[in-house]
Amino acid sequence: MEIRLNDWILEVDFDRTSKFYNDMDDEIQCDCLSCQNYRLYLKKNNGVRSFFQQLGIDPFKDGDYTSYGVPENGRLLYLGVYHIVGVIVSGPTVITDMWSNVNLTKVEDFNIGFSYELRCVDPDFPEPIIQLEFEANLPWLLDKEWAE
């Protein structure tokens, strides 16, 4: 299935991607406050959730993401990656050093790009692999105060 997102045209194997996420354990979820806040945001944001789901990603599983710094003006910065079975038909394939120069895909509070640079990829993830990278400045939604 071909998906066009700003600078990228991706050929995504939706079935193999979603099968990988479906087969994953739920129990690897981190319980720290930052991660709880991240998941609560996803629960409340259909737009972001359906963006990930159209690619076959279950954003509640597997993602390697982490928050940076402390909340500012009620928002906390998250950076992370998810993986997709597929190939980049056209568009940048390396974005680490040019993050601010690529035409990122904006989905609500998320800025998203794609590359072949892989990190934190599950050794069982089916090839070929595209890495989805994101930064997201998310509102703090938990009743509890942020704490490290």
**Where does this chain bind Zn ion (CB under 5 A)?**
30, 32, 35
Nearer to Zn ion, 93 or 137 (CB): 137
With respect to Zn ion, which residue has the nearer C-beta, 69 or 101?
69
Tell me the closest approach of the beta carbon of residue 29 to Zn ion, in angstroms: 8
CB of 136 to Zn ion, least distance (A): 15
| Cβ-contact 12, 3 below 8 angstroms | yes
In whole angstroms, the minimum distance from the beta carbon of 43 to Zn ion comes to: 16
Of 36 and 45, nearer to Zn ion (C-beta) is 36
Closest distance to Zn ion from the beta carbon of 65 (Å):
8
Separation of alpha carbons 75 and 19, rounded Å: 33
CA distance 120 to 105: 22
Which residue lies nearer to Zn ion by CB, 32 or 120?
32
Alpha-helical runs (H) found in the chain: 14-23, 33-44, 46-54
Helices 46-54, 33-44: axis angle to 10 degrees equals: 90
Q: Which residues pair with 75 in a beta bridge?
A: 72, 139
Nearest alpha-carbon partner for 132 in 70, 62, 37? 62
